[in-house]
Amino acid sequence: MRHYRLTLSCPDRPGIIAAVSAFIAAHGGTIGESASHSEPDTRHFFMRQEILAASLPFGADGFRERFSAIASGFNMQWNISDSAQKKRMVMLASKQDHCLADLLYRWRSKEFDFDIPCVISNHEDLRSLAEWHGIPYIHVPLGPENKPAGHVKILDLCRQHKADAIVLARYMQILPDAFCAAYPNRIINIHHGLLPAFVGARPYHQAFERGVKQIGATCHYVTAELDAGPIIEQDVIRVDHSEAVEDLIRLGRDVEKTVLSRGVRYHVEDRVLVHGERTVVFR
């Protein structure tokens, strides 16, 4: 059913839940899902609620207008979104197809609601995959001589396609600082390693050399600092001494696509609240 998603964070103090619930109840609203979290060390409060749209006498704009006084009184950072307005997720990919193929399958099967206006890549390898799904594929070559200009073009394409967020589905390029700044907490990356360990290139090789007993993948928001953005989701799989680097890579692919799909889902459903370098994720 169509619903509005209210997300908020603010300094913790008594009465926040009561004030929000009383506001919704006063307008006849029905809360379909509710979650909250308080961090005792920082004394910060986080909340996410799903409110049935049909139960309110006004839309999202009317909610914003009426709720702003309460939000101001508690010094809230908050947002209200409409589930009927699908987020537009531009996909960036390179040559490896497992993460992109998994997301395209979930999109086609309507496993969770989002739109993919286009796939952008620095290679031609995945064109047939995207176009089989009926999604425009845009090739932007990135060589040593034109990489800055190429990323300017990609950023412009994301804006032209009105991207709400950008997904790096094993896009094996480092985004420039200006690109990251244009979409704060809206660029979602999958790193084929369990951050903060094994940052950068060839994390499976790094893991093999250290003789780890489990490998993992990390979905995180992209910042100017490489592989250091707020973490959305992680998972692991156990390995042992009998497995070569190629085995770690093969096993890791399954973890990567699962972790990325979860991270994208959490973002699409407004389940991720960023606070500094940390996230609160209401699963």
- Secondary structure of residue 3 in the 3-state scheme: strand
pLDDT at 125 over 90: yes
Quote the pLDDT of residue 198: 87
- In this prediction, residue 5 carries a pLDDT of 98
Q: How far is Cα 188 from Cα 175, in angstroms, rounded to an integer?
A: 12
Q: What is the mean pLDDT of residues 8-22?
A: 97
Q: Are 20 and 49 in contact (CB under 8 A)?
A: yes
Is residue 273's pLDDT more than 90? yes
Residues 6+ apart with CB under 8 A from 134: none
Question: For residue 201, what pLDDT is reported?
Answer: 83
The rounded distance, in Å, linking the Cα atoms of 25 and 262 is: 32
The predicted-structure confidence for 55-111, as pLDDT tens digits, reads as follows: 999 999 999 999 999 999 999 999 999 999 999 999 999 999 999 999 999 999 999
pLDDT for the residue 246 = 94
8-state DSSP, 243: -
Whole-number pLDDT of residue 200: 83
Q: State the pTM of this model.
A: 0.95
Q: Rounded distance, CA 209 to CA 54, Å?
A: 57
At residue 152, what are phi and psi to the nearest 5 degrees? -65, -40
**Domains along the chain with CATH numbers:** 3-82 (3.30.70.260), 89-281 (3.40.50.170)
Highest mean pLDDT: which range of 15-19, 212-216, 247-251: 15-19
Rg of the Cα atoms in the chain: 20
Cβ atoms within 10 Å of 90's Cβ, excluding its own? 25
Looking at the chain, the whole-number percentage of residues with pLDDT higher than 90 is 94
When the pLDDT of each residue in the chain is averaged and rounded to a whole number, the result is 96
Judged against a pLDDT cut of 90, whether residue 151 lies above it is answered with yes
**23-42 tens-digit pLDDT:** 999 999 999 999 999 999 99
**Does residue 240 have an active-site annotation?**
no
CA distance linking residue 263 with residue 167, whole number of Å: 10
Q: Where are the beta strands (DSSP E) in the chain?
A: 3-11, 31-39, 44-52, 77-82, 89-93, 119-121, 137-139, 165-168, 187-191, 214-221, 231-238, 272-275, 278-281
Write down the catalytic residue from 97, 164, 227, 270.
Answer: 227
